[in-house]
Amino acid sequence: MIAPLLAAVEELFLGRPPERLGVAVSGGGDSIALLCVLAQFAKNHKIELHVITIDHGLRPETKDEITLVTDLCATWDLPHHVEYWTGWEGAGNLQAAAREARYALMADWAYGNQITHVALGHTADDQAETFLMRLARGAGVDGLSSMQSRRVQHGITWVRPFLRVERSALRTFLRASRVDWSEDPSNENRDFERVRVRDALTVLGTLGVQTDTLVDVAENMSRAREALDWQTFLSARDSATLSHGAVAIDLRKFRMLPAEISRRLLVHAITWIAQNDYPPRRDAVAQALGAVRASRGATLAGCQIIVEKNVIWVIRELITLTDVACEVGDVWDDRWLITGPEDDPDFEVRALGLKGVGQIENWRELGVPRAALAVTPAVWYDGRIVAAPVAQPDPEWVAELDGGQDAFFAALLSH
């Protein structure tokens, strides 16, 4: 029964598996099945397999689940690491906070062990459940797109070999292999949306809407998203440029774009400038689009949008940079790296600011709005400007965008 599951893993790596592979195992049936399959896969390909479990400190049953994973790893002589999350302060969305913390902890662990790929046990059922939850929220093409079998985040490649495998098939495999797993009692708690969605899937199944049907639809949405991303990339290449760290878009060409492409282009500019992981809310974007098309400015998600001389400028909002500072040689505002002839610890990299722009001779000749120059990095010492390499090029001081000038365009195709 392991053969089709091994084939799913083989297909994901296309015969080129990494030397070290990590796998996240909670003790539940999905991740235990993944561990069993990857143990054999690693043996076949002489891969170092490392196992990590995250203890969120939220359920008393977790201790027994960790013991189960530890014992199973000992059977195969696999290194097992447990990471503990203690960051929950009781405010906000617990599940979202736990998820983000989980990925960050696993990424740090992977870095420390020189692991480039980490496998996750998401299944076809997870795909279908996520699709329905997002459908209930009125999601668009992106939201309804399937989870990816391979994605780079936090500098780690996350792989999901079982996105086409149903949960019941993994349980059948485990029973046949005589391997135990733990059932999370929260899976029966109907206070959780995902549990209620599982109930709904049972009802939908009587109408012919099966898990594999929803997985197919989600994959269709993914292909549609890829097409839209490609068209947005082409439109960006035609209408947008990077100037002094800002995104400049030709207003006339922008107005000619289909509504969805112009929306995607503006959202991408905002998220790239602000280095946000998630796009702003759709209604807020709609308001900003309306303002731009009417040649008015707007502020959104830490960015300022300026329309000037038939150019849309998307820049950082200056107020968000008030307390953003670092030393020379560090990355400033998650975007800029400044290097120079000195790295005096008393030097500080901060925003140039409006007053700082006023100290730059002939700044108007750059053809860039004053507000755009104000949010570029400058080196300060004791209240005076040492260098402002973006607004005033200096042969000794260099300011470079993380990823280079083409990073903005490349990010459009990096889903």
Mean pLDDT score of the chain:
90
Hey, which of 49-58, 246-255, 352-361 has the most confident mean pLDDT? 246-255
In the sheet that holds 384-387, the strands lie side by side as: 348-351, 377-381, 384-387
Contact 397, 377 (CB under 8 A): no
Tell me, what's the pLDDT at 404?
76
**SS3 sequence of 332-385:** ECCCEEEECCCCCCCCEEEECHHHHHHCCCCHHHHCCCHHHHHCCEEEEECCEE
> Which whole number is the average pLDDT over 99-111?
89
Report helix angle 29-45 to 167-177, nearest 10: 70
Tell me, what's the pLDDT at 88?
65
pLDDT of 353 over the 90 cut: yes
pLDDT of 391 over the 60 cut: yes
Verdict on whether the full-model pTM lies above 0.75: yes
Q: Could you tell me the pLDDT band of residue 79, with boundaries at 50, 70 and 90?
A: very high
In the chain, what percentage of residues exceed pLDDT 70?
Answer: 96
pLDDT of 287 over the 70 cut: yes
pLDDT of 94 over the 70 cut: no
Tell me, what's the pLDDT at 405?
75
Q: In terms of pLDDT, which residue wins out, 87 or 411?
A: 411
> Which whole number is the average pLDDT over 16-40?
94
pLDDT in tens, 118-156: 999 999 999 999 999 999 988 889 999 999 999 888 889
Tell me, what's the pLDDT at 92?
58
Tell me, what's the pLDDT at 225?
94
pLDDT in tens, 305-315: 999 999 999 99
pLDDT in tens, 151-208: 888 889 999 999 999 999 999 999 999 999 988 776 666 767 777 888 888 888 888 8
22, 85, 107, 109, 240 from 114: Cα distances, Å: 10, 22, 10, 9, 38
> Which whole number is the average pLDDT over 217-231?
95
Instruction: Report the C-alpha gap between 373 and 248 in whole angstroms.
Output: 13
Tell me, what's the pLDDT at 261?
97
pLDDT of 90 over the 70 cut: no
pLDDT of 110 over the 90 cut: yes
Instruction: Report the C-alpha gap between 352 and 102 in whole angstroms.
Output: 37
